[in-house]
Amino acid sequence: MTIAASKIVPCLWFDSEAEEAAKFYCSIFNNSRIAYVSRYGEEGHDIHRKPAGSVMVVMFELDGQKFTAMNGGPRVTFDDAVSFQIECKDQDEVDYYWAKLTAGGEERPCGWLKDKFGLSWQVVPVVLYEMLTDKDCAASQRVMHAFMQMTKYDVAALKCAFEGTVQ
């Protein structure tokens, strides 16, 4: 069964929450679905130690991006070395994703957060990229200074910093 059109599919290792996490993420992003769920059998029980019939792997899509979630046990946990960026068109999108993904999770500086499963996300307004790469170095440095003080991004405050005006 062919699942991924892309050759690169992120695989997320969970202790036993793969299906719960996939359902959670699919509830947040449009154009999302669980493609299939596979389950552990008796084979390999001496290695995986999971009950037969419990969820092994969940293939799912978030806004068309394919993901795999697997229940591999507690040996591996998420850290900040890998995160997923959500490019937001405006403050409403920033607020939406921030509220959904921080529920039961943790806010972090500079648009970063950890969701309730410990996975790191960056909720970033696309205008930030434009401001940081602008030819006006003073403006982009003001933006850098402003966002370094933020937790969740404030698009209006970033624009004020870029323009050199007070909000």
Higher pLDDT, 12 or 5: 12
Higher pLDDT, 6 or 136: 136
The verdict on 93 and 158 lying in the same domain is yes
pLDDT of residue 4: 45
Please indicate, yes or no, if residue 78 is contained in any of the structural domains: no
**CA-closest candidate to residue 64, choices 42, 32, 92:** 32
The CATH number assigned to the domain holding 140 equals 3.10.180.10
Q: Name the DSSP class of 112.
A: E
With a CB cutoff of 8 Å and minimum separation 6, the contacts of 101 are 28, 113, 115, 121, 123
Say what the pTM is.
0.91
pLDDT of residue 1: 47
The verdict on 98 and 51 lying in the same domain is no
Please indicate, yes or no, if residue 4 is contained in any of the structural domains: no
Report whether pLDDT(162) > 70: yes
Which of 71, 91, 108 is a domain's end point? 71
Please indicate, yes or no, if residue 119 is contained in any of the structural domains: yes
State the amino acid at position 140 in one-letter form. Answer: S
Please indicate, yes or no, if residue 3 is contained in any of the structural domains: no
Can you give the residue range of the structural domain that contains 101? 83-163
The verdict on 43 and 97 lying in the same domain is no
pLDDT of residue 26: 98
The verdict on 21 and 62 lying in the same domain is yes
The verdict on 112 and 56 lying in the same domain is no
Q: Kindly state the percentage of the chain with pLDDT values over 70.
A: 96
Please indicate, yes or no, if residue 77 is contained in any of the structural domains: no
13-65 pLDDT, tens digit per residue, is: 999 999 999 999 999 999 999 999 999 998 888 888 889 999 999 999 999 99
The verdict on 121 and 145 lying in the same domain is yes
Please indicate, yes or no, if residue 76 is contained in any of the structural domains: no
Residue 60 CA to residue 34 CA, distance in Å, equals 4
For the chain, what is the domain count?
A: 2
The verdict on 87 and 145 lying in the same domain is yes
The verdict on 93 and 147 lying in the same domain is yes
Q: Are strands 112-114 and 106-107 parallel, antiparallel or unpaired?
A: antiparallel
With a CB cutoff of 8 Å and minimum separation 6, the contacts of 122 are 83, 84, 85, 86, 111, 112, 113
